[in-house]
Amino acid sequence: MSIDRVNQLSSTCVRRRFALAPALLVLGVTLLCGTRAMASSGGEVVTTAAEPGSLLEVVLFYAVATMTIVSSVAVCMSKNIVRMALWLFMTLASVSFLYFLLAANFLASIQLVVYAGGTLVLLVFGVMLTNKSPWARYTPGKLELVGAAAVCSVLLVALWLVFLRAEWSRLPGAFAGTSVADLGRSLLSVYVVPFEVAGVLLMIVMVGAAHLARQDK
Amino acid sequence: MTQFSVPWQPRPAHPYGMASRAVIALAQSVYGFAAPIVSRFPGAILISAVIATCVGVWMHSVLFGWVDTQLIQAAVTLPDYTPPALSLLSPSTWGLTPSVIHALRVDETVAASVAGLLDYVLWPVQFWIVRDVVGLGALFGLFNVIPVYVIWWERKVAGRIQSRLGPMRVGGWHGWAQSPADGIKLILKEDLVPAGADGPLFRLAPYLTIIPSLLAFLALPFGATYVLRELDVALVFILGVLGAEVVGVILAGWASNNKWSVYGAMREACQMISYEIPMGMALLVPVICVGTLSLSGIADVQQGGWFSWIAFSNPFCFAAFVCYFIASLASLKRAPFDLPEAESELVAGFVTEYSGFRWSLFFFAEYAAMFVICAIASIVFLGGWHSPLPASWGGGLGDGLLARGLTGLLFSGPIWLMFKSVFLLYVQLWLRWTLPRIRIDQVLYSCIQVLLPLTMVLVFGATVWTWASTGHNALWSTVEAATRIILGSIGLVFIGGFIAIAGYGFYHRRRMVGNLVQDVMPGS
Amino acid sequence: MGEHTYEILLAAAVASPLVSFWLLVFFGPRLGKPKAGWVGVLLGMGVPLIMGTIVMIGWWFFEDEASRAALTEHAFRWKWANLGAVAVDIGVKLDSLTVAMFFMVTFIAFWIFVFSVGYMKGHSDEVSGQCKYWRFFAYLSLFGFAMLGLVLSSNLLFLFIFWELVGLCSYLLIGFYFDKAFASKAAMKAFITNRVGDFGFLIGLMLVYFHLGTLDLDQAATRFAEQYASGTGIFASGFTMFGWSLATIMGVGLFCGAMGKSAQFPLHVWLPDAMAGPTPVSALIHAATMVAAGVYLVARVYRLMTPDALMFISTIGCLTLTLMALIAMVQVDIKKCLAYSTLSQLGYMIFGMGCGAWVAALFHLVTHAFFKAMLFLGSGQVIEGCHHEQDMRKMGGLRHKMPFTCWTFFVGVLAISGAGIPAMHIGLGGYFSKDEILAVAYTRSYVWGEGDFSKHEAHEGEHHSSTSTVHDVPVQLAAYQEHGEPEHADHGGAHESVDAHSSAPLALIFEHTKPLPKWMFWLAIITAYITPFYMMRCWWLTFMGKPRDEHVHEHAHETPMMFIPLVVLAIGTVFASYYLFRPLMADAAGAATAAPMVMAIDGDVHTPAITSAHSWLVYGVGFAFVAGFALAYLIYRDGLAVGDRIKQRLWPLHTLLVNKYYIDELYELVWVKGCVLLAKTAGFFDKWVVDLIFNLAAAITERLASFSGMIVDKHGVDGVVNGIAQTSMDVAGVASSAQTGRIRNYVLVTAAVAAVVLICLVWFGTNSGYSGARSFSALSP
Amino acid sequence: MTIGVTHFLVVGAVMFCCGLYTMSTKRNAIGILIGVELVLNSSALNLVAFDRYMGAGRLDGQIMALFIIVLAAAEAALAVGICINVYRNLATVDVDKATQLRG
Amino acid sequence: MTMADTVLESAPDLLVDTDRVEQGDLRTEEMLVNMGPQHPSTHGVLRVVLRTDGEMVLEAIPHIGYLHRCAEKIGESLAPYQYIPYTDRMDYLAGMNNNQAFAIAVERLCGLEVPARAQAIRVVFAEFNRIASHLVSLGTYGLDMGAFTPFLYCFREREMILDLFEAACGARLTYSYITVGGIHEDLPAGWVERCLEFLDYFEPKIDDYNNLLSFNHIFVKRTAGVGVVSVDEAIAYGLTGPPLRGSGIRWDLRKVLPYDGYEMYDFDVPIARSGGTDEIPHGVVVGDCWSRYYVRVLEMTQSVRIMRQALANLPDGDTEAKKIKNLKLPDDEVYVGIENPRGQLGFYVRGDGSTIPSRVKARGPSFCNLSITTPLCRNVMLADVPAIIGSIDVVMGEVDR
């Protein structure tokens, strides 16, 4: 089979395969974000992120932070509601990677399960159920846009200033890492009441949401 | 001249660039070289490739282990030693130099005879990043190989179940190259984006589907030392990333701008979200019994052979295994829960508008996720990489290479995990080609009204059981042991029955059932 | 018996109704009509009744006082959680009160459950497709769980949780016929009214949590006593309100919960409406058990009370018992009549609690539970028999049609009226319990009022030998020793001892405790005469005389399964009171009333040691039922005619009573209308004042502009002036458009303000660094 | 070059501002919801960062973040339910159209 | 969005019955969906327009005509024996039966006597084709339910039948074997033995299908109680064949108006029974999809029974009537209905004295049975639509003709 023949048969799109590139980027970042286990003396697995202070951490942080910022900016710039949801998903996933960097593995996983998996799908459901067309644009007034942009940027600058001014060194220090067991223990001892209350709340929300979204009134 | 009205804009064919031409030429020449050989010894080649892969994987583990235990530990005793970190800025973190390695290595009889070149081979292995890259390459390879061969296998299994042969031609021996050939075909197929579709999202969706299932491999341990990233929350992590797969599917359905696709996407979302809950709850049962979310930790408690496997440790885990398997079928959209792509209802569901390479990405994701789910089931319930023989029996084998090989084969090694996962995978295929599809309301009914309460009860029961077990009561220990024996025996009976059925089928196999009338009839 | 056997039995008894609840929730629809009910009966209350009986027997007959005290001491506790520094235990409060309450609740509830199986058959699905039979039993089971849990809780937090749970069940069951407007409104009313009380409870709870640092009942009492002794903690606070100290506020707050649940005077409005629920519910929840939980709560937190708080309690109780009894006299609805009688009796209990009759109040609670449950079931039987007719004026002469109901009802009437023969020491439950409350009230208002107790100060140190002194006192007093140490062993007679509290000298208590105002005592006495009157009226109008409505009379019938519980409860009313429950309460009183500032008074006037000085009270009250009965008989002997004449003669009073003192209307006026008024005022201000200013400014400027345009050169100045006008219009528009009603704009403004604040902080805090960081470090340990 | 708490705070601040912008410029109810999710997540990120760098192992920040996730899920469930109801009643999710309660 | 959707949405008023949408009914996006004409489970080119609300199908309207070939009109320009090949292109899954129907109609019109042997062979092939057709129906019905495997089992057996057909007439799908006046050619040597051998092989396979599909729990759940056709409805809509018998009406033209000597054979007419009795699973209601499906399974057994009788007593003699060359059709009309696998297939033929009929009209079972689709697919789940359409078992070639 000659190359021309191949050419003739398939009209397009070998080059499209290189769209793998963004996928590989995400993949690589995530791979490297994975944490490494270090056995502590107590036998419990305590995990840390890429060793604090290492080059790896710096590289990873900037990569993931860029991803976070780009996708969260994209959320507010998108006009299409489904795309907003997609970018939100990207943001949430990146934040989950940031959690990995912050040695909060459990939280990161939960973020993926609950937030990215559950909440987002809920949103998408909402989008699909409530939109005649996702391209339907409800444009706010020019003034509102400008005002919002101004306020947000001022706020950002203000926050930045605050961060610069703050004397973080006077605060208690960092810690090595944490295990799921610690988290569970404090959740069931110190924070047991909020925990229970959250359980009750979820139950109520479940009933309430089911009631709200019920078809036959 | 009449213009055909087509819903997409006719496009000029893109001429291939030089790179593409080169790739295609290379592929052709390789195939032209390999095809005669391959078609002569197809089975042998396939089997030896599998064996070579196993050996390669095993060798790399041996190598890494050797570097860890011998080299670095030895080096720690050296003066002015700094741990290898590969920071580009300071050469002091570049680890052991080849000369130091050589000095350390000469003590080793294994590698003493090899030339000094080996020092330079060993040098990068001391850096984690190198190992990560190696592991990543292996995982990526596995990630590619698994779907390809599971698809081929599925077609063979389906063929057998349906009294036909399945792929027989491509590649020779039982059509083993069918799937790669299909892959090549799919890559070369025209890649359509329907008019009115949301182009960027349409193109992005397959990747969003495939990346999560790829990520799941990162934290998946294949053996005690065969894991890229040992996560203390591996179970939740894998569940989470697999759950994120649904986003891609929804986007695919939505961006296709096809109503059937939207139906498929909605079904998928609905089904996946609802079944994640019983699935997670069913996995919580062994987690409660063991007390860790780390997959390695869970596997570690199952070293004691068949009866120590978690599925047999108490009735709740046993039931949880069944629940997990059912729920995982649903969240993987496998039959009888394959509603999102139900061809008799939704044409092809969310993949209706996809073709070519993107289409194949969805299937890569699906089959890889299937494997991951089965691997988790094996690790969490069926002893992980431990064989049914107690690991303690292998204690006397020593530490030599042969002993390690034997241990890996007989007691605990990745091969056992693969074996178990593949067995569960087979059960999935088996179910798919046996059962009709259920309806969406029945799907949700069985989730919310059956599985969810059931798993809730199981979690509660497991908690009580575990609580009772912490008391170190003699009577309770007896009860526990008896439970293990009873449940283990049930498992044995099940496996025995399976083997018996398979054996019966093999014994009574017929080459072609349809040959009854064919060759004897007049006129044929 | 092994360790924690009682606790396990009781816990099993609590769990069983919960199991029944879930079973009914999940499988109720499949079980169908009679089966769901029987599941509720057997699992929901049968098992607890068996457990309760076993515990009762074991506790009272097989344990001696010492072992009972030990069991109380070492009752099961399991540390559940830490709320900050406060540990919260899951535990069982195990003492005679618990056992008695437990038995009483399970016993009565069981028979009411049985009654319901028959009663609800015709009252559930057929009446309305929505009100399912199984659901009723599911709710009842849940109620059983909550009520038993409440009784068992050793911890205020859990007590509160179960408290709310019984409230929820009450809500659900009042609104069982939720498709009927009045029922759902009544449920809502009950719920909201109870929330008012619970808010007070919560305040009390928080005070306990904050100042006593524990939520455990016993521990809180100990801490309270310690803090009282040392003058620290809650006693160190100089905070006062209405002249009450913080400790008093805590007590009153806790009592507020009881006010809501036990429907005391200002919050009583929900209980009569709660009769919208099915009759077994009225019998069980709104007469026998749940409403008594308030009294139980006061009994449990008695040790945290101050004299001021008790005075408040007794005042509320006294008001309730009188006012409600008056209303009961004019009610024509049989259930409403009983409801007001319940309110009045609850008032008695609370009044008793307030004036120190701890034992008597609880004793009255139990006896009242028996006979009121029976009365309600009787009324249920009547309503069922008369096809949902509740108006007593249409009844009459039912004794022939439903003899069992008639005579069991009569037993109840006798019991609630306090019928007994004083000299012979024979009587029904109400006779003993009510008399005892009155006796204590008498003691508090007259004996203490005359300063007789000052002499006790002299005996403070030698209380062991002081018993002879108190023999002069007509009513025996007993301030029990801490931890319920057996008094019999020490003094040879429980009812003849006065014993100073170890941590708080008796003298101190006397010093704090003011005498009870005499009007309270007299109101209680008068009400004791009113009670037999309205009860007799109720009974007579229903069962005696001639049938007034042929239609109703014709259909009247009795259902066998429903009168069995009646008979059983009647027997219970007659027998299982004075000799069983009174000693149990007295046994519990020791430890449960070991309070630092207040005391419990044992007012058993029916002991052989009764003295002459007090006998007039015994006789006077003891025969009250004769007078009341006689009056009712005279008025209603020949039907309603006489009553109507009296009604016409006393119409102002009658109108007031029929309208329940217009309290509902008052609430409507103050709260509902008040809220609306407030909202309208705010709206008015927004619409007229704010907008007016802007509009006015714009208008004035415009006018000014046009005015000046007329006199000054149009072409020259016009532009300027119009510009000004336009500007002010714009300013007004912009300013008024600030209220866009869009949340997103408000969000933005909030954020803008936050940004400005942040920048200011940074700007002005240049040299000293960001102060926020310092506050962080200040917080860290 | 070390990564400290400030780095994470800056990311959080950007997310917060983006969320704020989304909330205050979108008229689609679900768009607003998405903005809220962003804001919630940024605060969770801040909490975890503080916990990591100055929590001294007390885990408070992580637990708060956990609760934020839970509450966000609950909030999203309810809000989507409300949106669907609004849509059913008004046939739009434009929040500017939902003015029935305006005086 | 496909073209069809665009077209559809431009004129939605034609399709949506707006009156039926209650005001204030809080509807989520109602959607018009095209099922077909290119859809895997519409069995050909049926196009069903679904008005859906989520997964619920509020209304389903079948649109036909995508396979219209003027088959009847062609019959008016051809001699009957020339028209025979056109008949088996109508219901292409039951070519033999179609041939038979038209042949009998012409024979009745002309008063031709068909030899006994030809009649017996006709019966054999009619029943054989019934089995083949039901096998397709069974298999594809499984496919509609998502069970792929039974389909291949059914087709395996069908292939064997087609082999036998091929041996007899040389064609595997469009046979034209049964012609006016008899059959085209006598059976080849050894055919009867092979056929009996096949029947021995085939009969136990029916149990296999039952085990694989009929009594599969999921299958029963999917089909039992779905798409119930009451007796009155079945009659009112003119249902015939398995859909009619699936509603419990014992009506079979082979019994009622026997042709080709069916009165000589001993067989039963299976009808549906409700669930819980004997082997019928719980939940099955007379007239539902499962009943229609199961009637076909039972009919296969009966067909085997008839075939055995016919093959055992195959008379000798001619296989073609005399005088069929240049057959003149009298100036008369005739209507003959026979029992096709799908129901009553009738041919109306009118002659005018020439060799070419002046009017040919077919009464097709699929066309009539399809009319029940709309009432059945009201307020069902989306997945029930294939179940219902599949259980009616239409062949579009015959619907459109």
> What's the pLDDT score for residue B90?
53
Provide, as residue numbers in chain E, all residues whose Cβ is less than 8 Å from the Cβ of A129.
Answer: 28-29
* Model confidence at C496: pLDDT above 50: no
> What's the pLDDT score for residue C351?
92
Please indicate whether chains E and C are in contact, defined as at least 3 beta carbon pairs under 8 Å: no
Which range, B205-219, C741-755, E129-143, E189-203, is most confident?
Answer: E129-143
Provide, as residue numbers in chain C, all residues whose Cβ is less than 8 Å from the Cβ of D54.
Answer: 776, 780
- Domains of chain D in start order, with CATH, are 5-101 (1.10.287.3510)
Evaluate whether ipTM surpasses 0.90.
no
Q: What is the CA radius of gyration of chain C?
A: 31
Q: Is B5 contained in some domain? A: no
Confidence band of C497 (pLDDT split at 50, 70, 90): very low
Query: Which of D18, D57, D76 lies nearest to residue A72, judging by beta carbons?
Result: D18
* Model confidence at C475: pLDDT above 70: no
Nearest chain D CA: its distance from C771 CA (Å): 17
Cα–Cα distance, E109 to E81 (Å, whole number) = 14
Question: Which residue of chain E is at minimal alpha-carbon distance from D84?
Answer: E28
For C159-167, what is the mean pLDDT?
Answer: 91
Provide, as residue numbers in chain E, all residues whose Cβ is less than 8 Å from the Cβ of D89.
Answer: 26
Chains that touch D (3 or more CB pairs under 8 A): A, C, E
Parent domain of B388: 132-514
Whether residue B436 and residue E145 make contact (CB cut-off 8 A), yes or no, is: yes
The sign one gets for the Cα dihedral C507, C588, C320, C260 is positive
Confidence band of C721 (pLDDT split at 50, 70, 90): low
> What's the pLDDT score for residue C146?
92
* Pairing of the two strands C426-427 and E30-35: unpaired
Whether residue A31 and residue B88 make contact (CB cut-off 8 A), yes or no, is: no
> Pick the residue with more confidence: E54 or B82?
E54
Cα–Cα distance, C318 to C329 (Å, whole number) = 17
Instruction: Residue E49: name the closest of E70, E67, E30, E29 by CA.
Output: E30
C-alpha dist (Å) from residue B7 to B347, B477, C217, D11: 18, 70, 78, 44
Give chain E's end-to-end CA distance (angstroms, integer).
Answer: 31
10 Å Cβ neighbour count for B20?
17
**Percent of the residues in chain B that have a pLDDT greater than 90, as a whole number:** 6
**Count of the separate structural domains present in chain B:** 2
Domain-ending residue, one of B73, B105, B126:
B126
Provide, as residue numbers in chain D, all residues whose Cβ is less than 8 Å from the Cβ of C747.
Answer: 20, 23-24
Domain-ending residue, one of B104, B126, B148:
B126
* Model confidence at B39: pLDDT above 80: no
**Percent of the residues in chain E that have a pLDDT greater than 70, as a whole number:** 91
A:C CB pairs within 8 Å = 66
Q: Is A174 contained in some domain? A: no
Answer yes or no: do B183 and B45 share one domain: no
Q: Is it true that the peptide bond before B83 is cis, omega within 30 degrees of 0?
A: no
> Pick the residue with more confidence: B79 or B517?
B79
Confidence band of C316 (pLDDT split at 50, 70, 90): very high
Q: Is it true that the peptide bond before B336 is cis, omega within 30 degrees of 0?
A: yes
Instruction: Please name the helix (run of DSSP H) or strand (run of DSSP E) that holds residue E32, with its range, or none.
Output: strand E30-35
Confidence band of C758 (pLDDT split at 50, 70, 90): confident
Q: Is A100 contained in some domain? A: yes
Answer yes or no: do B65 and B147 share one domain: no
Nearest chain E CA: its distance from A129 CA (Å): 6
Provide, as residue numbers in chain A, all residues whose Cβ is less than 8 Å from the Cβ of E28.
Answer: 129, 215
Answer yes or no: do A96 and A155 share one domain: no
Answer yes or no: do A143 and A62 share one domain: no
Nearest chain A CA: its distance from C758 CA (Å): 6
CA atoms within a 13 Å half-sphere pointing along the CA-CB vector of B174:
16
Whether residue A165 and residue C754 make contact (CB cut-off 8 A), yes or no, is: no
D:E CB pairs within 8 Å = 7
Provide, as residue numbers in chain A, all residues whose Cβ is less than 8 Å from the Cβ of C777.
Answer: 170-172
Cα–Cα distance, C440 to C617 (Å, whole number) = 11
Whether residue A132 and residue E28 make contact (CB cut-off 8 A), yes or no, is: no
Average pLDDT of chain E to the nearest whole number: 83
* Model confidence at B493: pLDDT above 90: yes
Task: Give, in degrees to the nearest 5, the angle at Cα E121 between E116 and E126.
Answer: 125
H-only helix segments in B356-512: 356-381, 401-410, 414-432, 440-445, 452-469, 474-507
Query: Which of A9, A55, A124 lies nearest to residue B250, judging by beta carbons?
Result: A124
Instruction: Residue E194: name the closest of B453, C487, C279, B517 by CA.
Output: B517
Parent domain of A70: 38-135
Whether residue A86 and residue B247 make contact (CB cut-off 8 A), yes or no, is: yes
Whether residue C758 and residue A159 make contact (CB cut-off 8 A), yes or no, is: yes
Bridge partners of E348, per DSSP, are E335, E361
**Percent of the residues in chain C that have a pLDDT greater than 90, as a whole number:** 8
Question: Which residue of chain E is at minimal alpha-carbon distance from B197?
Answer: E1
pLDDT in tens, B185-199: 887 777 778 877 777
Cα–Cα distance, B58 to B49 (Å, whole number) = 14
Query: Which of A102, A115, A152 lies nearest to residue D20, judging by beta carbons?
Result: A152
In 3-state terms, what secondary structure has residue C421?
strand
pLDDT in tens, E363-377: 888 888 888 888 888
Answer yes or no: do B61 and B171 share one domain: no
> Pick the residue with more confidence: B400 or A7?
B400
* Model confidence at A5: pLDDT above 60: no
Superfamily for domain range E71-326: Cytochrome-c3 Hydrogenase, chain B (1.10.645.10)
> What's the pLDDT score for residue E331?
85
Given the structure tokens 């108490």, which residue do they identify?
B314
Give D 14-33 residues with CB within 8 A of chain A: 14-22, 24-31, 33
* Model confidence at A141: pLDDT above 50: yes
Average pLDDT of chain B to the nearest whole number: 78
**Count of the separate structural domains present in chain A:** 3
Nearest chain D CA: its distance from C503 CA (Å): 42
**Percent of the residues in chain B that have a pLDDT greater than 70, as a whole number:** 80
DSSP state of C155: B
Domain-ending residue, one of B93, B126, B159:
B126
Per DSSP, the residues of C609-669 read T--HHHHHHHHHHHTHHHHHHHHHHHHHTTTTHHHHHHHHHTHHHHHHHHTGGGHHHHHII
Per DSSP, the residues of C226-250 read HHHHHT-GGGG---EETTEEHHHHH
Query: Which of C687, C747, C776 lies nearest to residue D23, judging by beta carbons?
Result: C747
DSSP state of C391: B
> What's the pLDDT score for residue C577?
66
Tokens of D75: 């909030």
Least confident of B29-38, B472-481, E41-50: B29-38
Least confident of C66-70, C364-368, C456-460: C456-460
Helices B128-161 and B414-432, packing angle to 10 deg: 40
Provide, as residue numbers in chain D, all residues whose Cβ is less than 8 Å from the Cβ of A160.
Answer: 10, 13
> What's the pLDDT score for residue E24?
36
Cα–Cα distance, A192 to B137 (Å, whole number) = 44
For E71-91, what is the mean pLDDT?
Answer: 87
Confidence band of E7 (pLDDT split at 50, 70, 90): very low
Instruction: Residue E184: name the closest of E96, E260, E254 by CA.
Output: E96
CA D95, chain centre distance (Å): 18
Cα–Cα distance, C232 to E39 (Å, whole number) = 84
DSSP state of B382: S
Residues comprising chain D, all counted: 103
Cα–Cα distance, E327 to E110 (Å, whole number) = 8
Whether residue C748 and residue D24 make contact (CB cut-off 8 A), yes or no, is: yes
pLDDT in tens, B166-187: 887 776 677 777 888 888 788 7
DSSP state of C514: P
pTM: 0.70
Whether residue D26 and residue C747 make contact (CB cut-off 8 A), yes or no, is: no
Answer yes or no: do B328 and B434 share one domain: yes
Tokens of B315: 């009735």
Q: Is A126 contained in some domain? A: yes
Provide, as residue numbers in chain A, all residues whose Cβ is less than 8 Å from the Cβ of E25.
Answer: none
For B130-158, what is the mean pLDDT?
Answer: 81
Answer yes or no: do A160 and A82 share one domain: no
Query: Which of A9, A31, A120 lies nearest to residue B218, judging by beta carbons?
Result: A31
Least confident of B99-103, B303-307, B347-351, C432-436: B99-103
* Torsion region of D56: left, alpha or beta (phi above 0 gives left; psi -120 to 50 gives alpha): left
Query: Which of E3, E159, E191 lies nearest to residue B7, judging by beta carbons?
Result: E3
Whether residue C761 and residue A162 make contact (CB cut-off 8 A), yes or no, is: yes
pLDDT in tens, B51-74: 777 777 777 777 777 776 666 666
Q: Is A8 contained in some domain? A: no
Q: Is B258 contained in some domain? A: yes
pLDDT in tens, C207-249: 898 888 888 888 888 888 888 888 787 887 777 777 788 888 8
Answer yes or no: do B359 and B443 share one domain: yes
Instruction: Please name the helix (run of DSSP H) or strand (run of DSSP E) that holds residue C90, with its range, or none.
Output: strand C86-91
Any C CB within 8 A of A159 CB: yes
Per DSSP, the residues of C485-501 read --HHHHHS-GGG-----
Nearest chain D CA: its distance from E3 CA (Å): 27
Which residues lie closer than 8 Å to C82 by C-beta, 6 or more apart?
Answer: A189, A190, A192, C88
Instruction: Residue E382: name the closest of B341, B444, B345 by CA.
Output: B345
Instruction: Residue C351: name the closest of C298, C420, C282 by CA.
Output: C298
Interface test with A, best of C88, C758, C768, C771 (most A CBs within 10 A): C758
Question: Which residue of chain E is at minimal alpha-carbon distance from B258?
Answer: E1
Domain ranges of chain E: 71-326
Bridge partners of E344, per DSSP, are E339
Q: Is A6 contained in some domain? A: no
Whether residue E26 and residue A217 make contact (CB cut-off 8 A), yes or no, is: yes
pLDDT in tens, A119-131: 666 667 666 665 5
In 3-state terms, what secondary structure has residue E268?
coil
